Every structure is written in C-alpha cells, then in structure tokens.
Amino acid sequence: MVRRETTHYREHMRDGRGTVTIHDVLQKEELNGHGRLYARIVLPPGASIGWHEHLHETEPYYILKGEGDFIDNDHSVHHVTAGDVCIIECGQSHSIENNSDSDLEFMALVYNE
C-alpha cells in the first residue's frame, strides 16, 4: 500500500504559541497499540509546543531542518538544528520553541513504554 501523509493544524498546541502543522505519517490505529503518533511536525517562526509530560510513553524528536530551542525535563535549554535528536523518556516533560526566522521541522514518534 502507498498513500500520502494526512495534514492537520493545531493552534496553541499544549498551550504553546501559534499554529503547528502536523503531517501524520501513520494514524494511531496503524501503530497497532504500540504508540499514538508518528508525524512530521512544522513549527513556523514564533510558534512553540508548550510544556507537557509523557506518562507511560517516550518520544524522540529528529530535527530535519531549521533551528529552535528544546527545553528538556530539567528545564535546561538546548539549541537544536538539523540532525539533532531530542529524547523524552517515560515520565519526563519537555517543550520546543521556534525562535528563528524560518520553519523548524522535525519527526516525532510517541511510543508506549
């Protein structure tokens, strides 16, 4: 089977700023109970995904292009660019912000512990 990604938009995702574009690679049902999200996420300049916690699941981000600030579980801020991997472990919290002049694009996979 071959199909296209599906796209939707979330305003103020997790109480963040702006509108986030989510390109779902797989739907939750296609993850067969192993997770809930596999998507390419685009944050336009000034947008963010707000601080939130992952209970009983983990989430890596793989930065594809652009740059931004990843706020880790201990509130440390890490400047991220293409090729960086941000790992959010079970029980940890995080957020991400695009404080640049161009889109920040990354892959996100939320899978169960």
DSSP string, the chain: -----EEEEEETGGG-SSEEEEEEEE-GGGGTTSEEEEEEEEE-TT-EEEEEE-SSEEEEEEEEESEEEEE-TTS-EEEEETT-EEEE-TT-EEEEE--SSS-EEEEEEEEE-
In a domain, 45, yes or no: no
23 within some domain: no
> What range does the domain containing 83 cover?
52-58+72-113
Domain count of the fold of the chain = 1
User: pLDDT tens digits for 14-39?
Assistant: 999 999 999 999 999 999 999 999 99
106: its two tokens: 């990354």
What pTM did the predictor assign?
Answer: 0.94
Q: Is residue 105 part of a domain?
A: yes
- What's the mean pLDDT in 78-99? 98
The verdict on residue 79 lying in a domain is yes
Where residue 44 falls among pLDDT bands split at 50, 70, 90? very high
Residue 12 in domain: no
Is 25 part of a structural domain of the chain?
no
Residue 112 has pLDDT above 90, yes or no: yes
Name the pLDDT band for 76 (thresholds 50, 70, 90). very high
Confidence of residue 88 (pLDDT cuts 50, 70, 90): very high
Q: 38 and 26 in contact (C-beta within 8 Å)?
A: yes
User: Tell me, what's the pLDDT at 1?
Assistant: 87
CB 66 within 8 A of CB 46: no
In a domain, 46, yes or no: no
